[in-house]
Amino acid sequence: MFRRIQRLVLLAFLPSLAHAQAANRVECGMREMSWARQRTRGPSHARQYRQSRDPRLVRGNDVCIQCHSQGRAVTNPILGRYYDWPVGNSAGQRPADYWQPEELKHGTTDFYQFADLTAHKNRMQGNDFVQSNMYHRQICCFDCHDVHSNENESNLRERGNALCLGCHTRRNAAGLKGTVSEHTHHGESRPGSQGTACHMPLIEQTIRGSYVAAHTFRFISPVETEQSGIPNPCTSCHAGKTNAWAIEALRRWEGASPWRVSN
């Protein structure tokens, strides 16, 4: 108990020590991750599908989610202060024992969320990512990010579409069945053909003018913009065009179900 209080005090009042603590936790997490990476080095189909539900992958994702999500410590206040991170949690433990994620409500747009539950505020990649099928298929933050840092932006393992296409082969249920251009309806290598352009729009912000990418990976249709105001990737990039223009364009796209993309 004393150790726990001592740790809380350190975390709360001595920022440099808190940093060291955080570094330790991440280092522990790395051990879990290096295990997960070993599994991702297998044949490509093994990399795309992790059929067995392995709690270590959930815990591995939790290492990132504990900081990159919105929530509150379950025992708030702690020594008179309120915390919005899982104080006391360490890599390998269940953050849920220390932390209550933000309650998201369908149909509400506020500081934290858009009406479809995509995050509105930054640093909520975890709240977003758990909604994706990729999370359910046990893909991890560190399948895309090399957290030991590298020369790519956002410490990504690959640049541009190479990141997505490493897994989104024909064998992946959500893989491209034709060329990138056939999927995106924009010219090969053009800005509108980037996987991130449509699946990770820069719509989350805390500071005015500074946006981070959505991590639900959902395509947000311009119809949803009409209904709830959530920005869609088409008219965010095509500034000056209307939602009606984008909806009409989507309805003409061969190979995409109009009921799915424009309704």
Residues that bind ligand HEC (CB under 6 A): 22, 25-26, 29, 47-49, 61, 63-68, 125-126, 129, 132-134, 137, 139, 141-145, 147, 154-156, 163-164, 166-168, 172-174, 186-187, 190-192, 195-200, 202, 212-213, 215, 217, 233-234, 237-238, 246, 249-250
Give the C-alpha distances (Å, rounded to integers) separating 140 from 35, 37, 95, 102, 134.
Answer: 12, 10, 16, 21, 8
Q: How far is the CB of 103 from ligand HEC (least distance, A)?
A: 18
**Angle made by CA atoms 189, 159, 199, in degrees to the nearest 5:** 70
Nearest Cα to 238, choosing from 253, 226, 249, 252? 249
Judged by CB, which is closer to ligand HEC: 70, or 125? Answer: 125
Judged by CB, which is closer to ligand HEC: 48, or 70? Answer: 48
Q: Would you tell me how many other CB atoms lie within 10 Å of the CB of residue 229? A: 10
Judged by CB, which is closer to ligand HEC: 81, or 190? Answer: 190
Q: How far is the CB of 43 from ligand HEC (least distance, A)?
A: 13
**Stated length of the chain:** 263
Judged by CB, which is closer to ligand HEC: 1, or 173? Answer: 173
Q: How far is the CB of 151 from ligand HEC (least distance, A)?
A: 11
Q: What backbone phi and psi angles, to 5 degrees, belong to 20?
A: -60, -40
Nearest Cα to 8, choosing from 24, 21, 23, 27? 21
Q: How far is the CB of 160 from ligand HEC (least distance, A)?
A: 9
Tokens 């959530």 appear where? 230
Q: How far is the CB of 211 from ligand HEC (least distance, A)?
A: 8
